[in-house]
A and B are shown apart, each in its own frame.
Chain A
Protein backbone atom coordinates (compact mmCIF):
# COMPACT_ATOMS: atom_id res chain seq x y z
CA UNK A 1 0.00 0.00 0.00
CA UNK A 2 2.86 2.32 -0.66
CA UNK A 3 2.06 5.76 -1.90
CA UNK A 4 -1.37 5.75 -0.33
CA UNK A 5 -2.10 8.43 2.18
CA UNK A 6 -2.64 7.23 5.73
CA UNK A 7 -3.86 10.27 7.56
CA UNK A 8 -5.82 10.05 10.80
CA UNK A 9 -9.50 9.95 10.04
CA UNK A 10 -10.82 9.42 13.54
CA UNK A 11 -9.23 10.85 16.60
CA UNK A 12 -10.92 10.30 19.93
CA UNK A 13 -9.23 12.31 22.64
CA UNK A 14 -10.00 11.52 26.30
CA UNK A 15 -13.66 11.05 25.60
CA UNK A 16 -16.01 10.72 28.54
CA UNK A 17 -19.75 10.15 28.29
CA UNK A 18 -21.70 10.52 31.50
CA UNK A 19 -25.25 9.42 32.09
CA UNK A 20 -27.40 10.16 35.11
CA UNK A 21 -28.66 6.86 36.35
CA UNK A 22 -31.13 6.04 39.06
CA UNK A 23 -30.19 2.80 40.73
CA UNK A 24 -32.49 0.96 43.08
CA UNK A 25 -34.80 3.84 43.69
CA UNK A 26 -32.02 5.96 45.10
CA UNK A 27 -30.79 9.31 44.01
CA UNK A 28 -29.60 9.85 40.52
CA UNK A 29 -25.94 9.21 40.22
CA UNK A 30 -23.61 10.00 37.38
CA UNK A 31 -22.34 6.96 35.58
CA UNK A 32 -19.57 7.00 32.99
CA UNK A 33 -20.58 4.88 30.05
CA UNK A 34 -17.31 5.93 28.43
CA UNK A 35 -14.45 6.86 30.71
CA UNK A 36 -11.47 8.80 29.40
CA UNK A 37 -11.03 6.89 26.16
CA UNK A 38 -8.56 7.79 23.46
CA UNK A 39 -8.15 6.03 20.17
CA UNK A 40 -7.49 6.73 16.52
CA UNK A 41 -8.09 5.26 13.12
CA UNK A 42 -6.29 6.12 9.91
CA UNK A 43 -7.37 5.94 6.31
CA UNK A 44 -7.23 2.41 4.92
CA UNK A 45 -7.16 0.81 8.38
CA UNK A 46 -9.72 -1.54 9.82
CA UNK A 47 -9.52 -1.09 13.57
CA UNK A 48 -11.45 -3.28 15.96
CA UNK A 49 -13.18 -2.21 19.15
CA UNK A 50 -13.79 -5.26 21.25
CA UNK A 51 -15.93 -5.59 24.31
CA UNK A 52 -18.93 -7.22 25.85
CA UNK A 53 -22.33 -5.57 25.98
CA UNK A 54 -22.30 -2.80 28.53
CA UNK A 55 -18.67 -1.97 27.85
CA UNK A 56 -19.61 1.35 26.31
CA UNK A 57 -18.62 0.52 22.77
CA UNK A 58 -21.96 1.50 21.24
CA UNK A 59 -21.98 4.76 23.18
CA UNK A 60 -18.53 5.45 21.83
CA UNK A 61 -19.60 4.64 18.27
CA UNK A 62 -22.54 6.99 18.42
CA UNK A 63 -20.38 9.77 19.77
CA UNK A 64 -17.80 9.15 17.05
CA UNK A 65 -20.49 9.62 14.43
CA UNK A 66 -21.57 12.88 15.90
CA UNK A 67 -25.00 11.80 17.04
CA UNK A 68 -24.18 10.57 20.51
CA UNK A 69 -23.74 12.49 23.69
CA UNK A 70 -20.35 13.75 24.78
CA UNK A 71 -19.58 14.92 28.29
CA UNK A 72 -15.85 15.50 28.12
CA UNK A 73 -12.95 15.24 25.72
CA UNK A 74 -12.97 15.80 21.99
CA UNK A 75 -13.56 13.90 18.82
CA UNK A 76 -12.32 14.74 15.37
CA UNK A 77 -14.09 12.53 12.86
CA UNK A 78 -13.56 12.84 9.14
CA UNK A 79 -12.03 16.21 9.87
CA UNK A 80 -15.09 17.50 11.73
CA UNK A 81 -15.76 18.39 15.32
CA UNK A 82 -19.44 17.58 15.54
CA UNK A 83 -19.89 19.19 18.89
CA UNK A 84 -19.23 22.60 17.42
CA UNK A 85 -21.08 22.59 14.13
CA UNK A 86 -24.79 22.92 13.59
CA UNK A 87 -27.49 23.03 11.02
CA UNK A 88 -26.79 22.48 7.38
CA UNK A 89 -23.03 22.37 7.85
CA UNK A 90 -23.47 19.60 10.34
CA UNK A 91 -25.81 17.60 8.18
CA UNK A 92 -23.37 17.80 5.30
CA UNK A 93 -20.50 16.83 7.56
CA UNK A 94 -22.30 13.61 8.44
CA UNK A 95 -21.49 12.34 4.97
CA UNK A 96 -17.88 11.91 5.98
CA UNK A 97 -18.65 9.68 8.93
CA UNK A 98 -21.18 6.93 8.39
CA UNK A 99 -22.44 4.06 10.48
CA UNK A 100 -23.73 0.56 9.92
CA UNK A 101 -25.85 -0.87 12.70
CA UNK A 102 -26.28 -4.30 14.13
CA UNK A 103 -29.84 -5.05 13.21
CA UNK A 104 -30.34 -4.04 9.60
CA UNK A 105 -34.11 -4.37 9.75
CA UNK A 106 -34.50 -1.92 12.55
CA UNK A 107 -32.29 0.66 10.93
CA UNK A 108 -34.48 0.89 7.85
CA UNK A 109 -37.85 2.54 7.57
CA UNK A 110 -40.07 -0.46 7.01
CA UNK A 111 -42.54 1.56 5.01
CA UNK A 112 -40.05 2.81 2.49
CA UNK A 113 -38.93 0.91 -0.55
CA UNK A 114 -35.20 0.47 -0.88
CA UNK A 115 -34.90 2.56 -4.03
CA UNK A 116 -36.96 5.39 -2.56
CA UNK A 117 -34.71 5.47 0.47
CA UNK A 118 -31.66 5.83 -1.74
CA UNK A 119 -33.33 8.56 -3.75
CA UNK A 120 -34.14 10.41 -0.58
CA UNK A 121 -30.47 10.45 0.39
CA UNK A 122 -29.63 11.66 -3.09
CA UNK A 123 -32.00 14.56 -2.79
CA UNK A 124 -30.33 15.69 0.39
CA UNK A 125 -26.77 15.23 -0.80
CA UNK A 126 -26.92 15.63 -4.56
CA UNK A 127 -23.21 16.32 -5.02
CA UNK A 128 -21.90 13.45 -2.96
CA UNK A 129 -24.17 10.87 -4.51
CA UNK A 130 -23.63 11.70 -8.15
CA UNK A 131 -21.04 9.05 -8.70
CA UNK A 132 -23.20 5.96 -9.01
CA UNK A 133 -26.73 5.20 -10.08
CA UNK A 134 -28.97 3.11 -7.86
CA UNK A 135 -28.40 0.06 -10.03
CA UNK A 136 -24.66 0.50 -9.84
CA UNK A 137 -24.89 0.87 -6.07
CA UNK A 138 -26.71 -2.43 -5.89
CA UNK A 139 -24.12 -4.18 -8.01
CA UNK A 140 -21.36 -2.76 -5.89
CA UNK A 141 -22.60 -4.62 -2.83
CA UNK A 142 -23.53 -7.75 -4.72
CA UNK A 143 -27.28 -7.21 -4.96
CA UNK A 144 -29.51 -7.24 -8.00
CA UNK A 145 -31.52 -4.30 -9.26
CA UNK A 146 -34.88 -5.77 -8.34
CA UNK A 147 -34.11 -5.18 -4.67
CA UNK A 148 -34.68 -1.49 -5.33
CA UNK A 149 -38.41 -1.97 -5.71
CA UNK A 150 -38.83 -3.98 -2.55
CA UNK A 151 -39.82 -3.19 0.98
CA UNK A 152 -37.52 -4.22 3.83
CA UNK A 153 -39.99 -6.92 4.78
CA UNK A 154 -39.42 -8.50 1.40
CA UNK A 155 -35.67 -8.92 1.66
CA UNK A 156 -33.46 -11.12 3.82
CA UNK A 157 -31.30 -10.02 6.73
CA UNK A 158 -28.13 -10.26 4.70
CA UNK A 159 -29.64 -8.27 1.87
CA UNK A 160 -30.89 -5.66 4.30
CA UNK A 161 -27.45 -5.28 5.78
CA UNK A 162 -26.05 -4.71 2.32
CA UNK A 163 -28.68 -2.08 1.74
CA UNK A 164 -27.62 -0.38 4.96
CA UNK A 165 -24.02 -0.49 3.82
CA UNK A 166 -25.05 1.00 0.50
CA UNK A 167 -26.86 3.82 2.23
CA UNK A 168 -23.73 4.52 4.20
CA UNK A 169 -21.24 4.18 1.37
CA UNK A 170 -23.14 6.15 -1.24
CA UNK A 171 -22.35 9.29 0.73
CA UNK A 172 -18.64 8.62 0.19
CA UNK A 173 -17.55 8.67 3.80
CA UNK A 174 -13.98 8.70 4.94
CA UNK A 175 -14.84 6.77 8.08
CA UNK A 176 -17.27 3.94 8.54
CA UNK A 177 -18.26 2.84 12.02
CA UNK A 178 -19.64 -0.67 11.95
CA UNK A 179 -21.41 -1.69 15.16
CA UNK A 180 -21.77 -5.47 15.25
CA UNK A 181 -22.54 -5.54 11.55
CA UNK A 182 -22.46 -9.29 11.23
CA UNK A 183 -24.21 -10.45 14.39
CA UNK A 184 -27.32 -12.40 13.68
CA UNK A 185 -26.28 -13.22 10.15
CA UNK A 186 -25.34 -16.72 9.15
CA UNK A 187 -21.74 -17.65 8.43
CA UNK A 188 -21.70 -17.39 4.64
CA UNK A 189 -23.44 -14.04 4.68
CA UNK A 190 -21.04 -12.87 7.36
CA UNK A 191 -18.14 -13.73 5.16
CA UNK A 192 -19.64 -11.81 2.26
CA UNK A 193 -20.21 -8.73 4.34
CA UNK A 194 -16.64 -8.83 5.62
CA UNK A 195 -15.46 -9.16 2.05
CA UNK A 196 -17.37 -6.02 1.21
CA UNK A 197 -15.62 -4.11 3.96
CA UNK A 198 -12.29 -5.31 2.72
CA UNK A 199 -13.01 -4.23 -0.83
CA UNK A 200 -14.14 -0.80 0.28
CA UNK A 201 -10.98 -0.42 2.26
CA UNK A 202 -8.93 -1.27 -0.76
CA UNK A 203 -10.86 0.76 -3.32
CA UNK A 204 -11.70 3.87 -1.35
CA UNK A 205 -9.00 3.91 1.29
CA UNK A 206 -11.86 3.78 3.74
CA UNK A 207 -11.14 3.85 7.47
CA UNK A 208 -13.29 1.42 9.40
CA UNK A 209 -13.94 1.20 13.11
CA UNK A 210 -15.23 -2.32 13.57
CA UNK A 211 -17.07 -2.71 16.84
CA UNK A 212 -17.79 -6.22 17.96
CA UNK A 213 -17.84 -8.73 20.77
CA UNK A 214 -17.00 -11.49 18.33
CA UNK A 215 -13.28 -12.05 18.65
CA UNK A 216 -13.01 -14.46 15.77
CA UNK A 217 -14.38 -11.91 13.33
CA UNK A 218 -12.22 -9.13 14.73
CA UNK A 219 -9.16 -11.27 14.42
CA UNK A 220 -9.98 -12.03 10.86
CA UNK A 221 -10.59 -8.60 9.50
CA UNK A 222 -8.92 -6.01 11.72
CA UNK A 223 -5.36 -4.73 11.56
CA UNK A 224 -5.42 -3.36 15.06
CA UNK A 225 -7.83 -3.56 17.92
CA UNK A 226 -8.75 -1.90 21.19
CA UNK A 227 -10.22 -3.84 24.07
CA UNK A 228 -12.84 -2.06 26.09
CA UNK A 229 -14.26 -2.85 29.49
CA UNK A 230 -16.60 -0.79 31.65
CA UNK A 231 -16.01 2.31 29.59
CA UNK A 232 -12.23 2.14 29.49
CA UNK A 233 -9.63 0.87 27.10
CA UNK A 234 -7.73 -1.89 28.84
CA UNK A 235 -5.46 -2.96 26.04
CA UNK A 236 -4.70 -2.25 22.42
CA UNK A 237 -2.36 -3.31 19.69
CA UNK A 238 -1.97 -5.16 16.42
CA UNK A 239 -4.50 -7.99 16.22
CA UNK A 240 -1.93 -10.71 15.83
CA UNK A 241 -0.06 -9.62 18.93
CA UNK A 242 -3.23 -9.03 20.86
CA UNK A 243 -4.50 -12.50 20.32
CA UNK A 244 -1.27 -14.37 20.65
CA UNK A 245 0.24 -12.42 23.52
CA UNK A 246 -2.57 -10.78 25.48
CA UNK A 247 -1.30 -8.72 28.39
CA UNK A 248 -4.37 -7.69 30.33
CA UNK A 249 -6.40 -10.17 32.36
CA UNK A 250 -9.62 -9.19 30.77
CA UNK A 251 -8.26 -9.68 27.29
CA UNK A 252 -7.05 -13.09 28.29
CA UNK A 253 -10.44 -13.99 29.65
CA UNK A 254 -12.19 -12.82 26.53
CA UNK A 255 -9.95 -14.90 24.37
CA UNK A 256 -10.36 -17.90 26.60
CA UNK A 257 -14.10 -17.62 26.32
CA UNK A 258 -14.02 -18.07 22.58
CA UNK A 259 -15.17 -21.62 21.86
CA UNK A 260 -12.76 -23.79 19.94
CA UNK A 261 -9.70 -21.80 20.78
CA UNK A 262 -8.27 -24.42 23.06
CA UNK A 263 -4.79 -23.54 21.94
CA UNK A 264 -5.17 -20.15 23.54
CA UNK A 265 -6.08 -21.66 26.86
CA UNK A 266 -2.50 -22.67 27.19
CA UNK A 267 -1.52 -19.02 27.18
CA UNK A 268 -3.80 -18.15 30.09
CA UNK A 269 -2.09 -20.64 32.31
Chain B
Protein backbone atom coordinates (compact mmCIF):
# COMPACT_ATOMS: atom_id res chain seq x y z
CA UNK B 1 0.00 0.00 0.00
CA UNK B 2 2.84 2.33 0.82
CA UNK B 3 4.31 1.87 -2.59
CA UNK B 4 1.04 2.53 -4.32
CA UNK B 5 0.76 5.79 -2.46
CA UNK B 6 4.30 6.67 -3.48
CA UNK B 7 3.51 5.99 -7.12
CA UNK B 8 0.38 8.08 -6.89
CA UNK B 9 2.27 10.97 -5.36
CA UNK B 10 4.89 10.90 -8.06
CA UNK B 11 2.39 10.71 -10.87
CA UNK B 12 0.33 13.57 -9.47
CA UNK B 13 3.47 15.63 -9.02
CA UNK B 14 4.42 14.88 -12.60
CA UNK B 15 1.06 15.97 -13.91
CA UNK B 16 1.24 19.18 -11.98
CA UNK B 17 4.70 19.94 -13.28
CA UNK B 18 3.44 19.27 -16.76
CA UNK B 19 0.54 21.59 -16.34
CA UNK B 20 2.77 24.34 -15.00
CA UNK B 21 5.33 23.74 -17.73
CA UNK B 22 2.71 24.04 -20.45
CA UNK B 23 1.40 27.22 -18.85
CA UNK B 24 4.90 28.60 -18.60
CA UNK B 25 5.62 27.75 -22.22
CA UNK B 26 2.43 29.40 -23.33
CA UNK B 27 3.03 32.62 -21.49
CA UNK B 28 6.69 32.85 -22.33
CA UNK B 29 5.83 32.57 -25.99
CA UNK B 30 2.98 35.05 -25.68
CA UNK B 31 5.01 37.59 -23.78
CA UNK B 32 7.89 37.36 -26.19
CA UNK B 33 6.12 39.27 -28.81
CA UNK B 34 3.83 39.12 -31.74
CA UNK B 35 5.05 36.46 -34.11
CA UNK B 36 2.70 37.27 -36.93
CA UNK B 37 4.88 40.10 -38.13
CA UNK B 38 7.89 37.81 -38.03
CA UNK B 39 6.07 35.25 -40.02
CA UNK B 40 4.85 37.53 -42.76
CA UNK B 41 7.84 39.74 -43.06
CA UNK B 42 8.12 43.49 -42.86
CA UNK B 43 6.28 44.17 -46.07
CA UNK B 44 3.07 42.67 -44.79
CA UNK B 45 -0.03 44.77 -44.97
CA UNK B 46 -2.20 45.31 -41.90
CA UNK B 47 -4.92 43.25 -43.53
CA UNK B 48 -2.62 40.29 -43.99
CA UNK B 49 -1.50 40.56 -40.42
CA UNK B 50 -5.05 40.72 -39.17
CA UNK B 51 -6.00 37.75 -41.28
CA UNK B 52 -3.15 35.65 -40.00
CA UNK B 53 -3.96 36.62 -36.48
CA UNK B 54 -7.54 35.55 -36.90
CA UNK B 55 -6.42 32.31 -38.45
CA UNK B 56 -4.17 31.55 -35.51
CA UNK B 57 -6.71 32.73 -33.03
CA UNK B 58 -4.38 35.42 -31.75
CA UNK B 59 -7.02 38.13 -31.90
CA UNK B 60 -8.86 36.73 -28.91
CA UNK B 61 -8.13 37.78 -25.33
CA UNK B 62 -5.06 36.06 -23.94
CA UNK B 63 -6.88 34.24 -21.22
CA UNK B 64 -9.29 32.68 -23.68
CA UNK B 65 -6.39 31.53 -25.81
CA UNK B 66 -4.78 30.04 -22.74
CA UNK B 67 -7.83 28.10 -21.70
CA UNK B 68 -8.24 26.75 -25.20
CA UNK B 69 -4.60 25.82 -25.29
CA UNK B 70 -4.74 23.89 -22.05
CA UNK B 71 -7.94 22.24 -23.11
CA UNK B 72 -6.46 21.17 -26.40
CA UNK B 73 -3.27 19.88 -24.89
CA UNK B 74 -5.08 17.80 -22.32
CA UNK B 75 -7.05 16.20 -25.07
CA UNK B 76 -3.89 15.48 -26.99
CA UNK B 77 -4.47 18.11 -29.63
CA UNK B 78 -1.23 19.91 -30.24
CA UNK B 79 -2.54 22.11 -32.98
CA UNK B 80 -2.12 22.17 -36.70
CA UNK B 81 0.95 23.04 -38.66
CA UNK B 82 0.69 26.33 -40.43
CA UNK B 83 2.87 25.12 -43.18
CA UNK B 84 1.69 21.65 -43.98
CA UNK B 85 -1.77 21.72 -42.52
CA UNK B 86 -1.25 18.39 -40.81
CA UNK B 87 -2.03 17.77 -37.18
CA UNK B 88 1.11 18.47 -35.21
CA UNK B 89 0.82 15.53 -32.91
CA UNK B 90 0.68 13.15 -35.84
CA UNK B 91 3.69 14.74 -37.46
CA UNK B 92 5.64 14.55 -34.25
CA UNK B 93 4.69 11.00 -33.44
CA UNK B 94 5.66 10.00 -36.92
CA UNK B 95 9.18 11.13 -36.28
CA UNK B 96 9.60 10.24 -32.64
CA UNK B 97 10.93 6.79 -33.31
CA UNK B 98 13.88 8.09 -35.31
CA UNK B 99 14.90 10.38 -32.47
CA UNK B 100 14.33 7.73 -29.85
CA UNK B 101 16.60 5.37 -31.74
CA UNK B 102 19.40 7.87 -31.58
CA UNK B 103 18.77 8.78 -27.96
CA UNK B 104 18.67 5.24 -26.66
CA UNK B 105 21.68 4.12 -28.64
CA UNK B 106 23.63 7.21 -27.63
CA UNK B 107 22.89 6.69 -23.95
CA UNK B 108 23.63 3.00 -24.24
CA UNK B 109 26.97 3.80 -25.78
CA UNK B 110 27.45 6.37 -23.06
CA UNK B 111 26.91 3.76 -20.39
CA UNK B 112 28.92 1.10 -22.21
CA UNK B 113 31.97 3.29 -22.44
CA UNK B 114 31.38 5.69 -19.60
CA UNK B 115 30.87 3.22 -16.80
CA UNK B 116 34.01 1.17 -17.37
CA UNK B 117 36.03 4.34 -17.84
CA UNK B 118 34.61 5.75 -14.62
CA UNK B 119 35.30 2.57 -12.70
CA UNK B 120 38.80 2.42 -14.09
CA UNK B 121 39.47 6.02 -13.18
CA UNK B 122 38.17 5.40 -9.67
CA UNK B 123 40.45 2.43 -9.25
CA UNK B 124 43.42 4.54 -10.23
CA UNK B 125 42.30 7.46 -8.15
CA UNK B 126 44.66 10.40 -8.11
CA UNK B 127 47.07 8.82 -10.54
CA UNK B 128 47.75 9.79 -14.11
CA UNK B 129 45.07 7.60 -15.68
CA UNK B 130 42.45 9.18 -13.44
CA UNK B 131 43.52 12.69 -14.32
CA UNK B 132 43.64 11.96 -18.01
CA UNK B 133 40.18 10.44 -17.87
CA UNK B 134 38.84 13.44 -16.02
CA UNK B 135 40.44 15.80 -18.47
CA UNK B 136 39.04 13.92 -21.44
CA UNK B 137 35.66 14.00 -19.83
CA UNK B 138 35.81 17.77 -19.51
CA UNK B 139 36.96 18.05 -23.10
CA UNK B 140 34.04 15.92 -24.16
CA UNK B 141 31.65 18.34 -22.56
CA UNK B 142 33.34 21.37 -24.05
CA UNK B 143 33.07 20.54 -27.71
CA UNK B 144 30.02 21.71 -29.62
CA UNK B 145 28.29 18.49 -30.52
CA UNK B 146 27.15 19.44 -33.97
CA UNK B 147 30.61 20.59 -34.88
CA UNK B 148 32.05 17.31 -33.77
CA UNK B 149 29.47 15.55 -35.87
CA UNK B 150 30.42 17.32 -39.04
CA UNK B 151 34.10 16.93 -38.35
CA UNK B 152 33.53 13.22 -38.05
CA UNK B 153 31.62 13.33 -41.31
CA UNK B 154 34.49 15.20 -42.87
CA UNK B 155 37.01 12.66 -41.74
CA UNK B 156 35.15 9.39 -41.97
CA UNK B 157 32.74 10.07 -44.78
CA UNK B 158 34.13 12.59 -47.14
CA UNK B 159 37.78 11.85 -46.78
CA UNK B 160 37.96 8.23 -45.82
CA UNK B 161 34.69 7.08 -47.24
CA UNK B 162 34.18 4.54 -44.53
CA UNK B 163 30.78 5.58 -43.40
CA UNK B 164 27.83 7.23 -45.11
CA UNK B 165 26.88 10.70 -44.08
CA UNK B 166 23.19 10.73 -44.73
CA UNK B 167 20.28 9.23 -42.95
CA UNK B 168 18.28 6.06 -43.15
CA UNK B 169 19.82 3.16 -44.87
CA UNK B 170 21.25 0.41 -42.81
CA UNK B 171 23.02 0.34 -39.51
CA UNK B 172 26.01 2.15 -40.89
CA UNK B 173 24.01 5.31 -41.13
CA UNK B 174 23.49 5.19 -37.42
CA UNK B 175 27.11 5.12 -36.47
CA UNK B 176 28.14 8.71 -36.93
CA UNK B 177 25.05 10.37 -35.45
CA UNK B 178 25.04 8.03 -32.46
CA UNK B 179 28.74 8.44 -31.78
CA UNK B 180 28.40 12.19 -32.01
CA UNK B 181 25.41 12.30 -29.73
CA UNK B 182 27.06 9.91 -27.30
CA UNK B 183 29.96 12.22 -26.56
CA UNK B 184 28.29 14.10 -23.74
CA UNK B 185 26.66 11.07 -22.11
CA UNK B 186 29.99 9.26 -22.15
CA UNK B 187 31.70 12.20 -20.52
CA UNK B 188 29.00 12.76 -17.89
CA UNK B 189 28.48 9.12 -17.04
CA UNK B 190 32.20 8.53 -16.76
CA UNK B 191 32.56 11.41 -14.34
CA UNK B 192 29.60 10.50 -12.23
CA UNK B 193 30.60 6.86 -12.07
CA UNK B 194 34.06 7.84 -11.03
CA UNK B 195 32.95 10.08 -8.20
CA UNK B 196 30.18 7.74 -7.09
CA UNK B 197 32.70 4.93 -6.91
CA UNK B 198 35.31 6.91 -5.03
CA UNK B 199 32.72 8.11 -2.55
CA UNK B 200 31.39 4.68 -1.85
CA UNK B 201 34.86 3.17 -1.81
CA UNK B 202 35.84 5.69 0.83
CA UNK B 203 33.01 4.52 3.01
CA UNK B 204 33.94 0.91 2.36
CA UNK B 205 37.54 1.39 3.33
CA UNK B 206 36.56 3.08 6.54
CA UNK B 207 34.16 0.33 7.56
CA UNK B 208 36.52 -2.38 6.40
CA UNK B 209 39.45 -1.07 8.34
CA UNK B 210 37.25 -0.79 11.38
CA UNK B 211 35.99 -4.30 11.04
CA UNK B 212 39.51 -5.45 10.52
CA UNK B 213 38.34 -8.44 8.56
CA UNK B 214 40.14 -7.62 5.40
CA UNK B 215 37.97 -8.28 2.42
CA UNK B 216 39.79 -8.70 -0.79
CA UNK B 217 40.01 -5.70 -3.02
CA UNK B 218 37.68 -7.41 -5.40
CA UNK B 219 34.86 -7.70 -2.92
CA UNK B 220 35.26 -4.12 -1.79
CA UNK B 221 35.10 -3.08 -5.39
CA UNK B 222 31.94 -5.03 -6.01
CA UNK B 223 30.29 -3.40 -3.01
CA UNK B 224 31.44 -0.03 -4.18
CA UNK B 225 29.97 -0.63 -7.58
CA UNK B 226 26.67 -1.68 -6.16
CA UNK B 227 26.32 1.41 -4.03
CA UNK B 228 27.38 3.62 -6.87
CA UNK B 229 24.95 2.11 -9.31
CA UNK B 230 21.93 3.96 -8.05
CA UNK B 231 22.84 7.50 -8.96
CA UNK B 232 24.46 6.34 -12.16
CA UNK B 233 21.33 4.56 -13.27
CA UNK B 234 19.32 7.64 -12.46
CA UNK B 235 21.64 9.81 -14.49
CA UNK B 236 21.33 7.46 -17.42
CA UNK B 237 17.59 7.81 -17.28
CA UNK B 238 17.83 11.56 -17.14
CA UNK B 239 20.20 11.65 -20.06
CA UNK B 240 17.64 10.02 -22.29
CA UNK B 241 15.27 12.82 -21.47
CA UNK B 242 17.71 15.60 -22.15
CA UNK B 243 18.95 14.01 -25.31
CA UNK B 244 15.54 13.64 -26.80
CA UNK B 245 15.13 17.35 -27.05
CA UNK B 246 18.76 18.35 -27.20
CA UNK B 247 19.57 16.46 -30.34
CA UNK B 248 18.23 19.18 -32.58
CA UNK B 249 21.52 20.31 -33.99
CA UNK B 250 22.84 16.81 -34.46
CA UNK B 251 19.76 15.67 -36.28
CA UNK B 252 19.88 18.75 -38.46
CA UNK B 253 23.48 18.19 -39.33
CA UNK B 254 22.91 14.57 -40.28
CA UNK B 255 19.54 15.26 -41.84
CA UNK B 256 18.11 12.64 -39.51
CA UNK B 257 14.31 12.54 -39.79
CA UNK B 258 13.55 12.90 -36.12
CA UNK B 259 11.82 15.58 -34.09
CA UNK B 260 15.05 17.57 -33.85
CA UNK B 261 15.22 18.26 -37.55
CA UNK B 262 11.47 18.77 -37.50
CA UNK B 263 12.14 21.63 -35.12
CA UNK B 264 14.65 23.16 -37.49
CA UNK B 265 12.14 22.92 -40.31
CA UNK B 266 9.55 24.60 -38.16
CA UNK B 267 12.01 27.38 -37.50
CA UNK B 268 12.78 27.88 -41.13
CA UNK B 269 9.10 28.02 -41.96
CA UNK B 270 8.30 30.16 -38.95
CA UNK B 271 5.67 27.58 -38.16
CA UNK B 272 4.67 28.82 -34.73
CA UNK B 273 2.04 26.22 -33.88
CA UNK B 274 4.48 23.44 -34.68
CA UNK B 275 7.21 24.98 -32.58
CA UNK B 276 4.85 25.30 -29.67
CA UNK B 277 3.67 21.74 -30.17
CA UNK B 278 7.27 20.57 -30.03
CA UNK B 279 7.88 22.46 -26.82
CA UNK B 280 4.89 20.83 -25.18
CA UNK B 281 5.82 17.44 -26.50
CA UNK B 282 9.37 17.84 -25.25
CA UNK B 283 8.08 18.72 -21.81
CA UNK B 284 5.76 15.73 -21.77
CA UNK B 285 8.54 13.37 -22.74
CA UNK B 286 10.84 14.85 -20.13
CA UNK B 287 8.27 14.62 -17.35
CA UNK B 288 7.35 11.06 -18.23
CA UNK B 289 10.96 9.95 -18.25
CA UNK B 290 11.72 11.78 -15.02
CA UNK B 291 8.71 10.28 -13.30
CA UNK B 292 9.79 6.82 -14.41
CA UNK B 293 13.27 7.50 -13.11
CA UNK B 294 11.85 8.66 -9.78
CA UNK B 295 9.72 5.56 -9.55
CA UNK B 296 12.69 3.40 -10.39
CA UNK B 297 14.62 5.14 -7.67
CA UNK B 298 11.81 4.35 -5.30
CA UNK B 299 11.95 0.70 -6.26
CA UNK B 300 15.68 0.46 -5.83
CA UNK B 301 16.04 2.53 -2.70
CA UNK B 302 13.16 2.03 -0.26
CA UNK B 303 14.15 4.98 1.88
CA UNK B 304 13.07 7.36 -0.84
CA UNK B 305 9.47 6.26 -0.50
CA UNK B 306 9.27 7.73 2.96
CA UNK B 307 10.39 11.15 1.96
CA UNK B 308 8.25 13.95 0.73
Contact = CB atoms under 8 A, between A and B. Distances in A.
A126 to B, nearest CB: 44
Contacts of B5: 25
Interface residues of A, number: 3
A106 interface: no
B305 interface: yes
A164 B6 CA distance: 44
A104 B164 CA distance: 68
Contacts of B210: none
A24 interface: yes
A22 B308 contact: yes
* Chain B residues touching A, majority SS: helix
A25 B5 CA distance: 8
Nearest to B6: A25
Nearest to B1: A25
B121 to A, nearest CB: 34
B2 A25 contact: yes
Interface in B1-48: 2, 5-6
A180 to B, nearest CB: 29
A22 B306 CA distance: 9
B305 A25 contact: yes
A156 B239 CA distance: 47
Nearest to B3: A25
Interface in A97-144: none
Interface string B286-308: 00000000000000000001101
Nearest to B2: A25
A20 to B, nearest CB: 12
Interface string B77-102: 00000000000000000000000000
A228 B2 CA distance: 35
A22 B305 CA distance: 12
B299 to A, nearest CB: 15
A25 to B, nearest CB: 5
Interface in A12-33: 22, 24-25
Nearest to A27: B5
B1 to A, nearest CB: 9
B9 to A, nearest CB: 9
A27 to B, nearest CB: 10
A24 B5 CA distance: 12
Interface in B254-308: 305-306, 308
A25 B308 CA distance: 8
B221 to A, nearest CB: 34
A25 B306 CA distance: 5
A167 to B, nearest CB: 35
A24 B308 CA distance: 11
Nearest to B305: A25
B78 to A, nearest CB: 37
A21 to B, nearest CB: 12
Interface in B154-173: none
Contacts of B6: 25
Contacts of B305: 25
Contacts of B308: 22
A29 to B, nearest CB: 15
Most buried by A among B6, B305, B306, B308: B306
A24 B305 CA distance: 9
A25 B305 CA distance: 7
A25 B10 CA distance: 13
Contacts of A22: 308
Contacts of A24: 2, 306
A194 to B, nearest CB: 38
B156 to A, nearest CB: 54
Contacts of B2: 24-25
A25 B2 CA distance: 7
Contacts of A25: 2, 5-6, 305-306
Interface in A23-46: 24-25
B274 to A, nearest CB: 43
A218 B82 CA distance: 80
A24 to B, nearest CB: 7
8 closest Cβ contacts across the A-B interface? Answer: A25-B2, A25-B306, A25-B305, A25-B5, A24-B306, A25-B6, A22-B308, A24-B2
Interface of B: 2, 5-6, 305-306, 308
Given A25-B2, A25-B305, A25-B306, 5 more contacts: A22-B308, A24-B2, A24-B306, A25-B5, A25-B6
8 contacts: A22-B308, A24-B2, A24-B306, A25-B2, A25-B5, A25-B6, A25-B305, A25-B306
